[in-house]
Structure formats: structure tokens, C-alpha cells
Structure 1
């Protein structure tokens, strides 16, 4: 059963019904607020006029009842709006996240490992939140402003004349045009600059000791200072744009209110106050169109990133043309042409590996080893299905990723049933326990608390926990001393019922005499794989 069939349906009509109900409650609440403002002003003015008259037949019972009714509807509408709109928005966020992870799963099956980086996943989750919350931040203010403007224009035309109603409508339309002509994503440049600065700071912290030893600390500090200056400049420019938009909208609102009052044609003071206060409430709501326009542009950009472009990192180009197969006897591939960036571009390769055997892809740096392994992993995933809970292919990239937390929590991503004792046995198998590592050892963000050799073995241990049919490992001995490297290769060479593909600079002595180990050199045309 697929993940999409197991997941509850959150995309259907209930979400649309919630959104429509929330918008209706928002409109009712704001209409009640405007009505309360206008009626209260009229009521107070009428009471003052009646009190100043010698003889007055003014009755306060009906207007006071109307004020109370508007107040009750406003309170109830605002409460219901918050409940319903937030429920609808959260459902949309859940839907966007579900679609995101569906695409991540589909991409993982069709592409090589490592395409979903932590930074990319963070950005995609933020995009899902922006797309889901657009209902509250963008759609609701626009719908409320439109309904409130129509209601206020009709009320002003009925109580005074058509002229002030037309002026009010024109003012709101002009404010809407100004709001939507302003830069949609005001802080886009600021966001890009902040992202670059954050990456620079993280790199600077990690590389500070090395840079200081090279005498480059001052240059590094100057680079960081320059990025800080660019961020301040971007923030200042964004602030100026926001202030200009707000000031323009305020001036238009003030002019509209003045013109509405001047053309009011009200027959008495209470009606004049009613028209003025009702117009003020509409114009105050229209000022929300500027942030609504920004939220709308942000949501559109987020939706476009989530639904159109393939969320892949640029580090891993797609390599076409490889043909692979997997049977009970082993795996193989053919028709693989080395890419242009390889040392020997255009060379066509192929190889077969018996079940339980090992293929060692050798070559100098830049010969195309990593690219071949990624292409093979992607192709085998499309051509192969695992069974009995075992994955068909697990690949360990040269720059794999660890999540912040403990070593055990990272390994349990591969096998949630692992106990601390079983993790301890696997640590001992890879000689990680010699370094004092346990299931409770914190690894730090990205595994910063571990050495390079420890990281390679932790990645490898997590992959071994899946017990795959095919295990593909890029440079498994990086950062290891000779003794530990021989031990790790011995573990990989004796895996039961698992076909192993490795990328190494050369076949080590400890594997040369093994009968089940094949070699595929990428930078020597005179040697071919068995």
C-alpha cells in the first residue's frame, strides 16, 4: 500500500467548506464592526442633538438595541472566524506538507541520494506554511475589504447621497491599486542576503582556526562585514518601500475621508457623523490590503516552488543512458557513458556483480566514480523492488547527512526497532565503541561533534541497519587509518546476502585476493571489469 493511500484525505471538500465558512464569518464580523462604529456615532450624535432641543421625541430604545446587537455579532463572529479560519489554514498547511513529502518520496525513488538537503527541506517546509497560511494572511483581508466596501457604499448612498458613496468606492479602489502595485515580496533581496550571511557565518565559525593559521582571519572578517553591510542596505531599502506604500495609502485614505465628508450632503449632524465614521472604518480595513498583497505574492512564489520545479540540489546532475538490472543471481548495468566532467568522458561502461559479491569502482579524483554510483543507485531503484521489509538499494554518499540529536536517534531512522544493546553491537562491529560512542552520544548539527572517520562509519552503520539487497558506498575509508580501513572493508566484504558496490581510489591489498571482488577502473582503458 502506498503512502498516499494510507494517509487520510485532507484535500477534499471539507477543507473548502471550512475556508468558505471562515470567510463568511470574517465578513460578518467586520460588517458588524463597521455597523457598530457608524451606528454608535450616529446614536451619540442624535442623543446630543435631542438633548440640546427644547422639545424632542427622540427614542433611544431601538438604536441602543441595534448597538448591542452589532456588538454581540462582532464578538461571536470574530471568535468563530478565528476557530474556523485557523482550522482551514492548518488543514491547507497539512495538505501542502503531505504533497511535499509525497514528492520527496517519489524523487527519492527516481533520483540519486542526497537530492533533499537539510536547507532545501527547511525552505520547502516554510513554503508549505506560507502557501497554507495565505488563506488568513491574504484571502481573508481582500474578501473582507471587498464586502465591507460594498456594504458601506450602499449604506452611505441610502443615508446621504450617491456622491459620497462614489468617492468612498473610488478611494478604496485607489488604495487597492497602490497596494498591489507595490513590490510583492518586499524583503526578497533581504531574504537572499540574510541566507548568504547565515551560510557565511556558519562557514566562518567552522573554518576560523584554519583561516587564522593561514593568516586569513582579517580577510574572512572583512567578507563577513561586507555581507552584514549588504544586509543592512537591503533592510533599509525594504523599510523605505514599506514606508512609502503606507504613507501613500494613508494620504489617499485621508483625502478620501475628507472628500466623502465634504460631499456628504447629509441632512443632519447624526447622519454626517454616521457617514464619516463608516467611511473611516472602511478605509482602515483597506489599509490591510498592502500586507495582504505581500502575503499573496509570497504564497504564489511558495506554491510555484512546491508544484513546478523539481526540488533538487545543483550538486547532483542527472545522468541519462544507464541501463541496469537486478535478479536473484546479482545485479548489472550497461550502456553507461562517462559524463563530460570525467577524466575520460564518453567511455561506455558495464559490469555485473554476483549476489553477495562486491564491485570496486576505482579511479583518480575526477574520474567519475561518485557520478557513476549515483546513476547506478537511481537506475537500480527504478528497476528493483525490495521484499520482506528490506530495501532494494541503499546508497551512502560521500557527503551524507546526520540530524541533530543522538547517534541512536539517527540510526533509528533506518530501523526504529533497534535497541541500545543492538546499537552497541553495531558500534563495536565498526570499532566506533573504541572511541567511546554509544547510542546516547550527541552528534551535533550535521555531525559536527564527530571526527571525519567517525562520521563515515556512522553513515555506514545507519545504512547497514536497513540490511539492503544492494549497498552502494562512496569512499567508505575516507578519514580512517589503515588498520580501521581494512577492518571496515572486511565487514563490507562479508555481508551476508548483500551485493556491495564501492568507490575507491584503488583496490586495497586486503580485497585483492578475495574471489568475489570485481574491479571496474575508470581511468585505465587497458583494464576492463570482469
Structure 2
């Protein structure tokens, strides 16, 4: 439960003043509701007693009726203010939480990022934020308001109606309500979490089916996919039905507790009246007991979603944060130095080196280590005299740029894709120079130029063209060290040679380290190192 408490604290402290005012108004709404019924009950009882005593003409009906109207209008205003303040503060806190979630996704290891599916991550983030939304609005604030209202009602009833009435109302509500809500929360964790997981699997499965529908039809796999989705839907519905049954049972118990508390208050009030107490104050407890029933139902929904909240909190777990890096300035010397067992090399500004070797030898992993995207282990790496982990993140990304083997583009225009790496004020001429350097300029001029629109994940370009646009994006970063993982894969030898020549011409002072199966003898690379298992 520690992650859940950390997130709760984060949400509550995002805007302390607004949340405190909202909590106060939450209590005020319940207090006014109970007071409204109590005053109305007292008014009705006192009016009846005055009529029976023959003094009804002298009974002041104006001030109690004014109090009833005040409480009714005040309760409506307090409810509106509570909704505005608590929802506004919670939504602003959740906006910050979304950014934290995206940072955690970006901070994963490089292998995890390569396998990451954007729609799955986004769906999970949306679902987790939706679940944590209820942590404050449907769990913490209702619980706080219910406890405060019951405590205040106990004190006021003990003062106005007598201690026996106050004890009767508390005994009718608190033990049974605490037990019923505790059982609901405990039993609902598993089906709530299971229902959420099934709903997410169903949503992701639907996205996959829609995206791959053509391949499914051609392969005859559509009926099987439909059956799998129907199974997931049935599991999600079963979990929802289980939660609904638990919620309705808890609702029956809480309704019974309301009737029990009112009956006990009536018995205690009757006993006081038989002992000589005035009937009107003794009757207040009965109506207050009915009014206090409003404090418990909001907790049912929050506890029913507790499993979702716990699972979401475990995934988010914002309590862990990396300490800021305080590394000093870079030292003089070679730009890159690597010692990894038998493999050892240095790379100076403007130099080029190719890494070759069989698949699985660790070439890509070595690049990831240099880029601080993989644990370095026993490998000794220094970038400008400093280990990759000693660099502040922002400074390291200014120095090192890596183009992985799996190049990724976004849906949008070519300009949009290049803008991810180029400063906002970069002129179009610079964008075209980067594209010409990787032999993509002519292909795009024959289309819509920089406004050529791509589909999801860059659909509309071939694999080799996608890789070259990614290389153009790297050129616009103008790094001191450029790491390339199979940059010529999918290109014929003539195009590959033009691309490598263009990279060197565009980045004459950049050190280039590339893993290659072909073209390792190109003139860009002064030497070649073989990586072995």
C-alpha cells in the first residue's frame, strides 16, 4: 500500500489550499444535510407539541423555517464549491502525474523502449490516471468527511439531545459501517483489479484487430481473433458483475444500518422523554440519524475500485526518483574510449570506426552502453573523459545521438518528424540540406516536399527511406558523437555509399561509430573493429 499512500500525498499536496477548502466544504455538505433533517424534525415535533399544549399561536415559526431555508441553500452552495475546488485541484495534480508517467516510460531501458507499443503505453497511462482520480474524490475525501461529520454529530447530539441519543446513533452506525466497508474493500480488490486488466486487454486487442484486420482476413484468423475478444469481454463482464453484487450487498447493509441507528435514536429519545426530558430535543436524534446515512454511500464506489487503484499505484510508483547528477566538467582527451575485454579503441572528433561481427555478438548492446541506455557492467567507457552515467542527462544528449536499428517516425508530415530534432526556428533550407545529405531530398521533392504526410509509425515510406529520414533527424542534432546501428540496412551499395558520404559531409567534426554487416570498408571509417562473443 506504500505506493498508494505516496500518490495520495502527491495528489493532496499539489494544491494544498484548494484541497483543504474542498475537504472543509465536503464536511460542511454532510453537516448541513444532517442539520437540515435534525432542524426539520425538531421544528415538526415542536410545532406538534405546541399545538397539543394549546400555545401554537405563540410559537415562533419564522426563525426555524428561515434556518431550514438557510441550510438547504447553504448545502447546495457548499456542494458546488466542493466539486469545483476538489476536482480542479485533483485534475491539476493528475496532469503532473501524467508527465511523471511519460517520463518513466522514457526512462526505461533501450530494449524495453524498442519493444514498447505506443498505443498500449498510452492506454495504460490513461487507465492508471483514471483509476487514481478516484483515490481522492471517491475514497479519501468521502472517508474524511464521513468521520468528521459523525464526530461532530455525536458532540452536537450529546449537547442537544443527551448522551444516550448520541451513543445510540454512533452505536447504530460506526461498528457495522466500518465492518461492512472493510469487507467490501478487502473482497473487491481481486475482482476490481481483474476487471481492469481484462478491460485493458480487450481494449488493446480491439486496437490490434482493427490495425491488422487486412492480414487477419487474408490469413483466415479473424474468427479466432473475434472469439478471443469475446472471451476477454466475458471475463471483464464477469468481474463487473461480481463487483456489482458486492456493491449492492454493501448498500443493503448500509441502508439497514441507517434504519437501525434511527430506531436506536428513537428508543433512546423515548427513554429520555419518559424520564422527563422535552420531546422536541429528544426527537432530533431520530432525524439526524437519517441524515447521516448520506455520508456512507460515496465510500462504496471508492472501495469497489480499490483494486484498480492499488494496481495503478504499483505501476506508477512515483516515490522513486533518481538523484540529480552533479558531475563536473568534461576532461580533455579522446572523445570516446572503450575497453570491453579484448575489444579496445579510441575515437577522436571527426573520426570514424565500424564495428563488425556475427549477430548476437553484442554490437548493438555496446552502442546502448555508450549512450547510457544499458548497464555498462564490466565495460569501461569514457565520453570526453567521463563515464556515461556521470553525465547529466541533458548534457549527454547534446553530445551523443544514437540512431537505433529500428527507426521510428511519427504520424504527420516530414517537417513534423524533423522538428523533433531541429530547433523551432530552423529554416527549411537546413531541413532540405539534411535530407539531401542522406539522399532523400529528390524522393520527397517528387511528392509534397516537407509537407509529405505519413501515416501511423511513418507509414508511406519504405524501410530504407524511413531509416534515412531518421538519419536526417540525427544530422539536425549536430552531435559530437554519432552512434549508428546498421545505418545501411535495406539500402543497396550505391545508395549506402552516398548516405555515408553525405553524413560525413554534413558532420565533418563528428565522431561516427557504426555497427555494420556491410560497407564496413567505406572511407568514412578509418578503421574497423570486430566484436566477438
Measured against the shorter chain, the TM-score band is 0.7 to 0.9
Q: By how many angstroms is 1:371 displaced?
A: 2.0
Q: By how many angstroms is 1:279 displaced?
A: 1.3
Instruction: Tell me which protein shows more helix as a share of its residues.
Output: 2
Deviations 1:314-355 (A, max 9, x none): xxxxxxxxxxx985643121136xxxxxxxxxxx53332232
* Residues 1:263 and 1:487: Cα distance change in structure 2 (over 3 Å): farther
Deviations 1:364-411 (A, max 9, x none): 433333222212211654355799998111122334544444332332
Q: 1:362 aligns with which of 331, 356, 359?
A: 356
Q: 2:414 aligns with which of 397, 407, 415?
A: 407
Q: 2:177 aligns with which of 175, 178, 184?
A: 175
Cα distance in 1 for residues equivalent to 2:510 and 2:236: 51
Q: Which residue of 1 aligns with 2:499?
A: 488
Q: Which residue of 2 aligns with 1:344?
A: none
Counterparts of 1:451-462 in structure 2 under 5 Å? 451-462=462-473
Q: Which residue of 1 aligns with 2:431?
A: 423
Q: By how many angstroms is 1:149 displaced?
A: 0.8
Contact 2:165 2:265 in 1 (8 A): yes
Q: Which residue of 1 aligns with 2:327?
A: none
TM-score under structure 2 normalisation?
Answer: 0.76
> Secondary structure of the equivalent of 1:172?
helix
Deviations 1:252-302 (A, max 9, x none): 334433444344426477556633332122122112122233566655554
Cα distance in 1 for residues equivalent to 2:213 and 2:130: 35
Cα distance in 2 for residues equivalent to 1:273 and 1:120: 58
> Secondary structure of the equivalent of 2:113?
coil
Counterparts of 1:61-210 in structure 2 under 5 Å? 61-97=62-98, 107=107, 114=113, 118=118, 119-120=120-121, 123-124=124-125, 127=128, 131=132, 134-170=135-171, 171-181=173-183, 182=185, 183-184=188-189, 187-210=192-215
* Residues 1:202 and 1:253: Cα distance change in structure 2 (over 3 Å): same
State how many pairs are aligned. Answer: 487
Cα distance in 1 for residues equivalent to 2:11 and 2:318: 19
1:231 and 2:236 aligned: yes
> Secondary structure of the equivalent of 2:477?
coil
More moved, 207-216 vs 27-36: 207-216
Q: 1:277 aligns with which of 278, 284, 287?
A: 287
Q: Which residue of 2 aligns with 1:319?
A: none
Cα distance in 2 for residues equivalent to 1:419 and 1:389: 25
1:288 and 2:298 aligned: yes
* Residues 1:25 and 1:194: Cα distance change in structure 2 (over 3 Å): closer
> Secondary structure of the equivalent of 1:360?
strand
Q: Which residue of 2 aligns with 1:516?
A: 525
Counterparts of 1:460-471 in structure 2 under 5 Å? 460-471=471-482
Q: By how many angstroms is 1:492 displaced?
A: 3.0
Q: Which residue of 1 aligns with 2:3?
A: none
Question: Which runs of no fewer than 5 residues in structure 1 stay unpaired?
Answer: 1-9, 313-324, 337-347, 526-530
Q: Which residue of 1 aligns with 2:35?
A: 35
Provide the aligned C-alpha RMSD in A.
4.0
* Residues 1:424 and 1:235: Cα distance change in structure 2 (over 3 Å): farther
Q: By how many angstroms is 1:449 displaced?
A: 4.7
Cα distance in 2 for residues equivalent to 1:515 and 1:401: 25
* Residues 1:231 and 1:94: Cα distance change in structure 2 (over 3 Å): closer
Cα distance in 2 for residues equivalent to 1:479 and 1:361: 18
Cα distance in 2 for residues equivalent to 1:334 and 1:186: 52
Q: Which residue of 2 aligns with 1:342?
A: none
Q: Which residue of 1 aligns with 2:483?
A: 472
TM-score under structure 1 normalisation?
Answer: 0.77
1:350 and 2:350 aligned: no
